[in-house]
């Protein structure tokens, strides 16, 4: 399991172009509305000069604002965004991107071309093309970096995306139960 190279599938072939952005200083409520309107799970945060400063995900909003009882009209995106942001060149192969995402423990990866932001690659983009590729890279990360990737330490206590091992339907909310990843319906 040394390499994931597949020169036939490039990031630029499967990424979303024109990623949704938000400027620093905007409130979390505006970010949530933008995500809802665009049907996305993350926004890239840009500085006033247009440089990439961070990324805010729906999980950031839930865990760092809602769960803390904070007012989304008063919390700024730069207060809860992840920064610095890791990015990847669009001409790299998809397998390499999946490996990097697994190693970093991220589900969203901004895509660049000669340092210019050109798109966004998500786990869902990879799953649509090759569900097995994501499983392979997660297993690779679990083996190579067990002490550094917290999301793999207690799989029964987290939800992940993929196909339910009981009904085979795709879900963003799979949970481990008796050694199987199950959707909320099958978990009952």
pLDDT digits (tens, 9 = 90+) for 68-118: 999 999 999 999 999 988 999 999 988 888 888 878 888 899 998 887 889
Flag whether 95 is in a domain. Answer: yes
pLDDT at 152 over 80: no
The CATH code of the domain that includes 76 is 3.10.580.10
pLDDT at 43 over 80: yes
Lowest-confidence range among 120-134, 156-170, 174-188? 156-170
pLDDT digit string (tens) for 44-58? 999 988 889 999 999
pLDDT at 66 over 90: yes
SS (H, E, C) the chain: CCCCCCCCCEHHHHCEECCCEEECCCEHHHHHHHHHHHCCCEEEEECCCCCEEEEEEHHHHHHHHHCCCCCCCCCEHHHHCECCCCCEECCCEHHHHHHHHHHHCCCEEEEEECCEEEEEEEHHHHHHHCHHHHHHHHHHHHHHCCCCCHHHCCHHHCCEEEECCCCCCEEEEEEEECCEEECHHHHC
Q: Are residues 115 and 72 in the same domain?
A: yes
Question: Where in the sequence is the domain holding 173, given as residue range(s)?
Answer: 157-188
Flag whether 139 is in a domain. Answer: no
Q: Are residues 67 and 25 in the same domain?
A: yes
Mean pLDDT of the chain: 80
- Residue 185 has a pLDDT of 84
Q: Are residues 105 and 37 in the same domain?
A: yes
């Amino acid at each position: 399991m040394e390499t994931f190279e597949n020169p036939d599938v490039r990031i630029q072939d499967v990424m979303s172009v024109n990623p949704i952005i938000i400027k620093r200083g905007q409130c979390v409520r505006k970010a949530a509305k933008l995500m809802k309107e665009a049907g996305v799970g993350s926004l890239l945060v840009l500085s006033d000069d247009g440089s990439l400063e961070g990324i805010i995900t729906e999980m950031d909003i839930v865990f760092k604002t809602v769960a803390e009882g904070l007012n989304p009209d008063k919390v700024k995106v730069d207060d809860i965004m992840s920064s610095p942001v890791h990015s990847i060149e669009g001409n790299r192969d998809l397998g390499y991107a999946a490996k990097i995402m697994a190693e970093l423990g991220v589900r969203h990866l901004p895509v660049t071309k000669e340092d210019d932001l050109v798109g966004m690659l998500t786990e869902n983009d990879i799953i649509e093309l090759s569900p097995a590729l994501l499983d392979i890279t997660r297993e690779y990360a679990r083996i190579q970096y067990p002490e550094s990737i917290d999301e793999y330490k207690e799989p029964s206590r987290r939800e992940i995306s993929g196909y339910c091992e009981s009904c085979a339907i795709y879900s963003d909310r799979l949970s481990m139960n008796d050694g199987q990843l199950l959707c909320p319906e099958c978990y009952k």
